[in-house]
Structure 1
Amino acid sequence: MLKYLARRCALFALALFVVSVVVFLALRVLPGDLATIMAGLNSPPERVAALRAELGLDRPLVAQYGAWIAGLAHGDFGTTMLTGQPVASVVGARAQITFPLIVLGLLIALVLGVPLGCASVMAKSARARGLYQAVAIVGGAVPALWAGLVLILLFGRGTGLLPILPASGFPQDGWSSPGRAFAALVLPAVTVGVIVGASIMRYTRSALQSVASTGAIEMAMACGMTRRRALTHVGLRLAMPQLVSVVGLTFAEMITGVMVIENLFALPGIGSGLVDDLTHRDLIAVQSELFMLAAFFLVIGLLVDLTHRALDPRLGQDDE
């Protein structure tokens, strides 16, 4: 296990280095001068030259990259041009909205997807199995924008038929008012949860069917279990490594996947904030934000691999 952990951490460090180079160069290969893009195409040459000197863009690329990496190593992700605040504090404030939204949406997806996936496998009639399959297909095909608008028209304050929940915005004092903050995330989380829940349902059904094809369910039934109990106790336990991998990667993908939802419900989260920074040409802040997101994806991937290996001891046999 230690050998695998060391190898995996080395690959993680290498991937992080490659990502940093790609993110750094991606903004340097844009057509035109980076300082001109950030200052505006109609800015006077003096303003462009001052901005280039202020951001260090007049130095060689290697020196720029080294200075950026040195700052990252000390926790300095730069400052935003719009407000002058540190990028880390801005992203931290946005994360207080995005991560609770993702966690709540993922919980709703698991509550919907896992039981429905199990039920679709346990269904005895072809009609019931077809109905579950149709639910999974329709749920996954629903556009997030359309689903959010429907929920706003049904439950949003001011416009809904049953106006019980906020339709947009987030409290100015954030989680200092936990009730209001939680209420502001309910409709966006349900929108995300229904769509992601359909995917979880399909993965759960596929994982259980894969386990059933190995004969483990029949063996459990031969020991006295009913088919339902064998599927829920034995099948789910054996399918857990696959489901953990799917849930972990889904969690990472939802960081940018909720971008449409955040814009629809006017939530100042990471996704909508990244779009705003791109709109205002704050490219140095975008550079650090993209690196932070990529690093988060890599961390989640590392944790998923380690968890998968811990849940399935058979994978450790490869190192022996």
Structure 2
Amino acid sequence: MRFVLQRLALFVVTLLGVSVLVFAALRVLPGDMAQLMAGMNSTPGRVASIRKSMGLDRPVFEQYTGWLWGLMHGDFGMSMLTGRAIAATVKTRASVTFPLIALGLLAAMVIGLVFGYEATMSHRPAVRVMFHLLALVGGAIPALWGGLLLILLFSKGMGIIGLFPSQGFPASGWRQPVQALSSLALPALTVGIIDGATLMRYTRSALTELLSSDVIAMTMASGYTRRQAMVRVGFRLALPQLVSVTGLLFASMVTGVMVIENLFALPGIGYGLVTDLGNRDLIAVQSELFMLAAFFLFVGFIVDVIHRLLDPRMRHPEQEG
């Protein structure tokens, strides 16, 4: 409990620091923020109206504390472009982005764990070399190039095998689950292949180190085969390390899917952030960046706690010696 409270306090302090950085980053941009939001050809009256409506005429510290107070109460402000609450807009976009990340993570885990296990257990050097090359090539593929390749192979209309749509998301969202899942198939596979190659390397490294350990030898001496020992004992011992890697991959996918969402025209958080930047809706960008940073920190907090629960050596360091 003390560890959780310490990590929670660190999470809150770091989140406060991030809020300061995000708030300050948009204020140090050259030019008047209200002028940037209104456009360079706007009239002085329009600029003054935006400055007053967004509270930009108040002192900077008062602007920050007001924004922070709103964040604490779930009020992320109003979009200058649409007039909608930013929280509602992000919620709609998150219903696309987070299922995409979840599907991509599922694909990455299947690819990384299965191929990493087979690369470790294979007796044939040629097979091990093949898996090693797959991991290197998969991890080196740019997301844009990988997505275009999958479109040319599996998209309807232009692909060799027309299985999935290559653009857009159903207007009714998840009320059409089959169409929604079909729209996310190629983007999720793109993310899964790239991050699965990274997870494959970590899985192979962790299991290879355990393969020659006394623990696996003792397990095999108890009547298990080599593969049974690695599945039942090896994966369990490697789980803390793999959980940490998977948690980091999950967090990094938020930024990784920005390219994918723009390529496949998915109305997610990454696509919306690029759109808001292009439309100079800086108040929306400010809140969206903070929410992304908060998500990163929250995933790190959860991974730390799970890692400690899974690894007894971290709970009882005095027993390690």
TM (norm. structure 1) is 0.96
Which residue pairs with 1:63 in the alignment? 62
How do 1:140-289 residues align onto structure 2 when only pairs under 5 Å count?
Answer: 140-212=139-211, 214-289=213-288
Report deviation, 1:164: 2.3
Please give the secondary structure, in 2, of the residue aligned with 1:190. Answer: helix
Is 1:39 the equivalent of 2:38? Answer: yes
Which residue pairs with 1:51 in the alignment? 50
Amino acid at match of 2:67: W
Amino acid at match of 2:164: L
Is 1:90 the equivalent of 2:113? Answer: no
Partners of 1:104 and 1:281 lie apart in 2 by 31
Which residue pairs with 1:119 in the alignment? 118
Report deviation, 1:318: 4.0
What do the CA deviations read for 1:182-227 (whole angstroms, capped 9, x no partner)?
Answer: 1111111111111111111111111112333543222222333222
Amino acid at match of 2:194: I
Which residue pairs with 1:137 in the alignment? 136
Report deviation, 1:62: 0.8
Amino acid at match of 1:102: I
Which residue pairs with 2:4 in the alignment? 5
Partners of 2:276 and 2:253 lie apart in 1 by 19
List gaps (5 residues or longer) in structure 1: none
Partners of 1:77 and 1:188 lie apart in 2 by 29
Amino acid at match of 1:94: R
Distance 1:319 1:288, change over 3 A: farther
Over the matched positions of the two proteins, sequence identity in percent amounts to: 58
The answer to whether the 8 Å contact 1:81/1:282 transfers is yes
The answer to whether the 8 Å contact 1:4/1:319 transfers is no
Please give the secondary structure, in 2, of the residue aligned with 1:110. Answer: helix
Would you say how many aligned residue pairs link Structure 1 and Structure 2? Answer: 319
The answer to whether the 8 Å contact 1:56/1:64 transfers is yes
The answer to whether the 8 Å contact 1:113/1:201 transfers is yes
Partners of 1:276 and 1:186 lie apart in 2 by 23
List gaps (5 residues or longer) in structure 2: none
Report deviation, 1:44: 2.3
Amino acid at match of 1:308: H
Report deviation, 1:123: 1.5
